[in-house]
Amino acid sequence: MLAVTGQQSLEELFDHIPEDLRYQGEIDIPGPLSEWELTDHFENLGSSMYTGSSRAVLIGAGSYDHHVPEIVRSLSGRSEFLTSYTPYQPEMAQGTLQGIFEFQTLTARLLGTEVANASMYDGASALAEALLMAIRISKKKRTVAISSAVHPHYREVVRTYLAPGPFEIVELPYGADGRTELSVLAEIDDLAGVALQSPNFFGVIEDHAAAAELVHDRGALYIACFSEPLTFGLYRNPGSFGADIVCGEGQSFGMNQSYGGAGLGMFGCKQQFVRNMPGRVVGRTADKDGKRGFVLTLATREQHIRREKATSNICSNQGLCAMTAAIHMATLGSTGLRELAKLNYDKAAHLRNGLLDAGATQLFSGPVFNEFVVVFDTDFRPQRERLLHKGIVAGLPLTGYYPDLGQAYLFCATETVSRQLIDELLEEVRR
């Protein structure tokens, strides 16, 4: 490589990087290990970390621990799904295409939208693509508004997507009830779209009906985002309130947390906007003999049309993850989804009420699902550390995301958390 580039040494290869930006000194990397020494090393590292494998991690914040039925693991692990690639040739990929079509159908029903695509990379990129879609539809408008109660990582991805373009991002504050304050929209001109997350990062349910009406009065598109799709088993979906675009993370449907991945972005919109929707769409058609078939359709990606006219550079959907989510949704059915959502609501309510009885204060007054924010009068860190040594991760400190929230902690409880474990945590909090 050095010979080809005309450099004399590896150091010379990086001469173009200013010296004050380069790492100075030797990097502390241990020497080589044999295979069994390396195995022992990783086992020792693993034993020094507290995981949710034996006890519980009472944190949601965009990634949720749910039971995955064995039928979902078994079917999604079949080689027909596990090894399949992009279904460019419909005559060879009818099974995969039909599976994606079923995912789209189930997603559209879940979100209350008229159409859905074949999935996105994740919830964060789906939200960023939704805001770009709103800008395309509005043509000359360049300003978007996003709630500060949207997941901080999602907002960071949005900023990364929009920063290179001539766009302005306005963050909307949240109120005492944990919901987004929308009155400031009256002061924003050139508004293309407004994005809210529900449940938001605090677990609070936003008022979709009021938000959609206000945003539409401003001549903008209303984008409803989510990180916990199980919510729609208990609460009405955003599409039923008039959301133009609905998008979010689908990890809760059949996928383990696995250090934050893998997941998938779920994305749906009104039929009138389908040609501006990013990603892929699988359509149902008929062959020359009248038999049902499935094909990729409305392919408005840069590989198919002029690059400057493409709706997105999203080149693939999360195929296996989308298939897994479809299997999981079909396994649950509408009744199972509702029962599971109710169980999650009850578990979180039991934990919340116990913490309040133990002296904590609920920070926000708005309705919640699955997770909630509480504030402790005294320093909660010693109790949290004791619980950590028992294998229980008790809540997420919010100061790293919202410095003004002080002693606020975000707690989550799903169906995987037993009442006995919750009671054990509450006993420790009361000490």
Give the model confidence (pLDDT) of 241-288 as tens digits. Answer: 999 999 999 999 999 988 777 889 999 999 999 989 988 899 999 988
Name, in order, each residue with C-beta under 8 angstroms of 357's C-beta and a sequence gap of 6 or more.
Answer: 426
Instruction: Give the pLDDT confidence score for residue 303 in this predicted structure.
Output: 56
Instruction: Give the pLDDT confidence score for residue 305 in this predicted structure.
Output: 62
Name, in order, each residue with C-beta under 8 angstroms of 384's C-beta and a sequence gap of 6 or more.
Answer: 394, 395, 409
Q: Supply the DSSP string of 6-43, one letter for each residue.
A: T-SSHHHHTTTS-GGGSPPS---------HHHHHHHHH
Q: In the chain, which segments carry CATH 3.40.640.10?
A: 70-329
Instruction: Give the pLDDT confidence score for residue 260 in this predicted structure.
Output: 73
Instruction: Give the pLDDT confidence score for residue 147 in this predicted structure.
Output: 98
What's the whole-number mean pLDDT along residues 371-384? 94
Name, in order, each residue with C-beta under 8 angstroms of 26's C-beta and a sequence gap of 6 or more.
Answer: none
Q: Is 30 exposed, middle or buried (0-12, 13-18, 19+ CB in 10 A)?
A: exposed
Cis status of the peptide bond prior to 199, with omega within 30 of 0: yes
What is the reported pTM? 0.87
Task: Give CA–CA dist 242/221, Å, rounded.
Answer: 10
Q: Which residue has the tokens 């897994």?
A: 324
Phi, psi of 30 (to 5 degrees): -65, 160
Instruction: Give the pLDDT confidence score for residue 304 in this predicted structure.
Output: 59
Question: Can you read off the two tokens belonging to residue 253?
Answer: 């449907």
Q: In the chain, which segments carry CATH 3.90.1150.10?
A: 56-68+333-430
**Measured CA angle at 66 (ends 57, 79), to 5 deg:** 125
Cis status of the peptide bond prior to 152, with omega within 30 of 0: no
- Hey, what's the torsion of the CAs at 305, 310, 311, 314, to 10 degrees? 90
Q: Is 381 exposed, middle or buried (0-12, 13-18, 19+ CB in 10 A)?
A: exposed
| pLDDT per residue as tens digits for the range 53-106 | 567 899 999 999 999 999 999 999 998 888 877 777 788 889 889 999 999 999
Q: Which residue has the higher pLDDT, 90 or 4?
A: 4
On whether the 70-329 domain is CATH 3.40.50.720, my answer is no
Question: Can you read off the two tokens belonging to residue 384?
Answer: 């949290």
DSSP-derived letter for residue 353 is H
Using the CB atoms, write b or e for 412-427: b if 16+ within 10 Å: bbbbebeeebbebbbe
How many alpha carbons lie under 13 Å from residue 139 in its C-beta half-sphere? 1
- Contact criterion met (CB below 8 Å) for 94 and 316: no
> Measuring CA to CA, which residue among 111, 381, 410 is closest to residue 266?
111
Q: Is the pLDDT of residue 127 over 60?
A: yes
| pLDDT per residue as tens digits for the range 289-308 | 999 999 988 775 555 566 67
- Contact criterion met (CB below 8 Å) for 231 and 199: yes
**CATH entry, 56-68+333-430, from 3.90.1150.10, 3.40.50.280, 3.30.565.10, 3.40.50.300:** 3.90.1150.10
What average pLDDT does the chain have?
A: 92
Partners of 169 in the beta sheet? 144
Count of positions (residues) in the chain: 431
Q: Is 107 exposed, middle or buried (0-12, 13-18, 19+ CB in 10 A)?
A: buried
Q: Is the pLDDT of residue 312 over 80?
A: no
- Contact criterion met (CB below 8 Å) for 128 and 67: no
Instruction: Give the pLDDT confidence score for residue 178 in this predicted structure.
Output: 97
Partners of 223 in the beta sheet? 195, 245
Q: Which residue has the tokens 């009068």?
A: 377
Task: Give CA–CA dist 11/264, Å, rounded.
Answer: 41
Q: Is the pLDDT of residue 410 over 60?
A: yes
Instruction: Give the pLDDT confidence score for residue 306 in this predicted structure.
Output: 65
Task: Give CA–CA dist 333/326, Å, rounded.
Answer: 10
Identify how many contiguous H helices and E strands the chain contains and give both numbers: 12, 15
Task: Give CA–CA dist 248/229, Å, rounded.
Answer: 8
The one-letter amino acid code at 127 reads L
Instruction: Give the pLDDT confidence score for residue 244 in this predicted structure.
Output: 98
